[in-house]
Amino acid sequence: MNEPPLIVQTDRTVLLETTHPEYEAARDRLARFAELEKSPEYVHFYKITPVSCWNAAALGERADDICDWLVRASRFPIVPTVLSQVREWFRRYGLLRLAPGSNGRLALRCDEPATLQELVEQPTVEKLVEVDDDGGVSLAAEARGEVKQALVKLGYPVDDRAGYRQGETLPFALREAPAGGPGFRLREYQQAAASAFHAGGSDRGGCGVVVLPCGAGKTVVGIAAMGLLQTNTLVLTTNTVAVRQWVRELLEKTTLTPDQVGEYTGEHKQVRPVTVATYQILTHRKAKLDAFTHLDLFDQGGFGLIVYDEVHLLPAPVFRATAGIQARRRLGLTATLVREDGRADEVFSLIGPKRYELPWKLLERQGFLAVALCQEVRTPLGAARAARYNAAGARSQIRIAADNERKEDVLGALLRRHAADRVLVIGQYLEQLQRLATVFALPLITGQTPNAERDRLYADFRAGQIKRLMVSKVGNFAIDLPDANVAIEVSGTFGSRQEEAQRLGRVLRPKADGGPASFYTVVSADTREQEFARKRQLFLTEQGYAYEIVQADDLLAADAAAAGAESRA
């Protein structure tokens, strides 16, 4: 009889044995209330955190169910303090509530008067609230976000039931095709995600985050939520290309007309019933110490809903602005709630809890995502580069490893292997990309590429006029290239799990032939780049993807053998 699959440690780290027969079931259960931190080959390390428990509570998980399962699935007895801490974090979710008060103020309520008194005496909270003679606590409406931020930092999330500004009414309908007919139809999970956010229009909903894989139609979820609310909407996204994709989707999938949908970017400043803007334009200022030029956009347009696309990238200045717009409904869309800057608690407090999530592998099994084959190609440094690497400082080592000239041979072999496929080559460093683009005659898109040229190249790729495209980190987000089926990552951003999720997502749209997608990451062997690749792969491990490790020499030998066989034929 097998021993249980988990070891639960006193610091709330949970070890999961990957070779255990119950590994997959335990992984899927853990992912609902714990965060994957490390994924060596045989044992994966999870961490139970306050935010992971609060998000689980928001999704309807119960502390008793989780603790009972941990006890059953743990190989050794669990220290009682671990279980009591989990129960305490669950208890705190919803303990504090914001509600409408008198004289235009908001009331902060708690079923435990002693806890409330202790919290309002904390310096970060005390300056934002007033306590009346009967012990009631109130705050100005404009302090709504700041109070929630302060309390979540103290370990007490707030259930915000203070209501929302309705915004101007915007009647429109979705252009759904009839059952069995061609065209756009809401998938069941997209409708479920929008409904979970909307919560029937009650104050229990209207704020929060939907977590779905790239390629699963997060934009459609946003449009469905807009359809439920029928109010003017501000959509914030990552770049101008993404803005125009949102505009295109809105006009294709709804009865909204072009004069009702506006682009607010560096090129156009159109404030319309539905306005789509970039994060960059909101954080623009003429000089470092000047005020942000366009943050007043939040107060224009009669917006009753704000949609934050790629919410895990929300920049700090927009966080600060968000503190003042808590009276509007807020929907965050993302493939992963992981934030490398540790601001997950701010997303929770200012945008809202996780309202809906589906595992990538589940959507793959249902045919909504392509099957993905992931490989890491470990490429040794040449003698001269290895000497430079060993003599360099830590930061310089990262760039030296990323620029490994032997990656050129690996990329060539992979391009030959996938000669008939639609290939995206993605990287971090401009000089490296320019060199590889020249060698392999690949069209290149970087942050310096004019938007018109980007749009043309993306359109040509979608139309099949070009089959290979190289993109810098601007390609991490919001590229609608449904026919891409191969991604080759030649360099990445340190250990960013966000980035790995986004890059894999570029090739996960189901293919017309039902074939799999291939995702390669080319890393310099035995360097810091290999260490960072291991961190990036955490996200894919969380989602159930296995990485095959391939040695560059073996890949090149197979390429040479294939070329020899072809020439003999």
What is the model's pLDDT at position 501? Answer: 65
Percentage above 70 pLDDT, the chain: 87
Give the C-alpha separation, 278 to 264, whole Å: 7
On average, the pLDDT of the chain sits at 86
pLDDT at residue 478, as a whole number: 52
What's the pLDDT at 428?
87
Looking at per-residue confidence, does 207 or 508 come out higher?
207
Q: Which of the pair, 305 or 366, is modelled with greater confidence? A: 305
Query: Which residue type is seen at 319?
Result: F
Look at 141 and 221; give whichever has higher pLDDT.
Answer: 221
Residues in the chain: 569
Token pair recorded at residue 473: 């980190």
CB neighbours of 323 closer than 8 A, spacing ≥ 6?
A: 144, 145, 146, 149, 350
Task: Note the pLDDT of residue 481.
Answer: 67
Non-local CB neighbours of 33 within 8 Å, separated by 6+ positions = 48, 52, 53, 55, 56, 61, 66
- CATH (one of 1.10.3470, 3.40.1420, 3.30.1490, 3.40.1170) for 96-160: 3.40.1170
Q: 244 in the Ramachandran plot: left (φ > 0), alpha (ψ -120 to 50) or beta?
A: alpha
Q: Is 21 exposed, middle or buried (0-12, 13-18, 19+ CB in 10 A)?
A: exposed
More confidently predicted of 458 and 198: 198
Q: Is the pLDDT of residue 314 over 80?
A: no
Whether the predicted pLDDT of 1 surpasses 60: no
DSSP 3-state of 561: helix
> Alpha carbon of 567 to those of 419, 561, 563, 564: distances in Å?
16, 10, 6, 5
- Rounded CA-CA distance 551/184 in Å is 43
Of 279 and 314, more confident? 279
Binned at pLDDT 50, 70 and 90, residue 534 comes out as confident
Q: What's the average model confidence in pLDDT over 276-292?
A: 75
pLDDT digit string, tens, across residues 371-395: 888 888 999 999 999 999 999 988 8
Write the pLDDT tens digit of every residue in 101-145.
988 899 999 989 999 999 999 999 999 999 998 889 999 988 998
Q: 408: which residues sit within 8 A by CB, 6+ positions away? A: 435, 436, 439
pLDDT of 340 reads: 60
Q: How confident is the model at residue 324 (pLDDT cuts 50, 70, 90)?
A: low
Lowest-confidence segment of 27-36, 341-350, 406-415 by average pLDDT: 341-350
pLDDT digits (tens, 9 = 90+) for 397-438: 989 999 999 999 999 999 999 999 999 999 888 999 999 999
520 touches 411 (CB < 8 A): no
The band of 319, judged by pLDDT with boundaries at 50, 70 and 90, is low
- Pairwise CA distance, residues 549 & 552, whole Å: 10
**Same CATH fold, 364-568 and 188-358?**
yes
- Coil vs helix vs strand at 200: helix
Highest mean pLDDT of the ranges 67-71, 311-315, 339-343: 67-71
How far is it, in rounded angstroms, from Cα 9 to Cα 419?
49
CATH number for region 188-358: 3.40.50.300
**Chain centre distance of CA 394:** 28
Ordered by start, the domain boundaries in the chain are 6-92, 96-160, 188-358, 364-568
Put the strands of the sheet holding 158-160 in their side by side order.
129-131, 137-139, 106-110, 96-100, 158-160
Arithmetic mean of pLDDT, 507-524: 80
Question: Does residue 267 register a pLDDT over 80?
Answer: yes
**Residue 511 above 70 pLDDT?**
no
pLDDT at 76 over 90: yes
Burial class (CB in 10 A: 0-12, 13-18, 19+), 5: buried
Cβ-proximal residues to 79 (8 Å cutoff; 6+ apart), any chain: 8, 10
Mean pLDDT lowest for which of 174-188, 392-406, 518-532? 174-188
Residue partners of 516: CB distance under 8 A and separation at least 6:
370, 371, 372, 373, 485
Q: What is the mean pLDDT of residues 150-157?
A: 94
Average pLDDT, integer, range 333-359: 79
> What angle (nearest 5°) sits at the alpha carbon of residue 509, between those of residues 503 and 515?
105
Alpha-helical (H) ranges within 287-342 are 316-322
Question: Nearest CA to 231 among 140, 331, 161?
Answer: 331
Q: Residue 355 phi/psi, 5° resolution?
A: -100, -25
Q: Which architecture, in CATH terms, is 364-568?
A: 3-Layer(aba) Sandwich (3.40)
* 426 neighbors 415 (Cβ within 8 angstroms): no
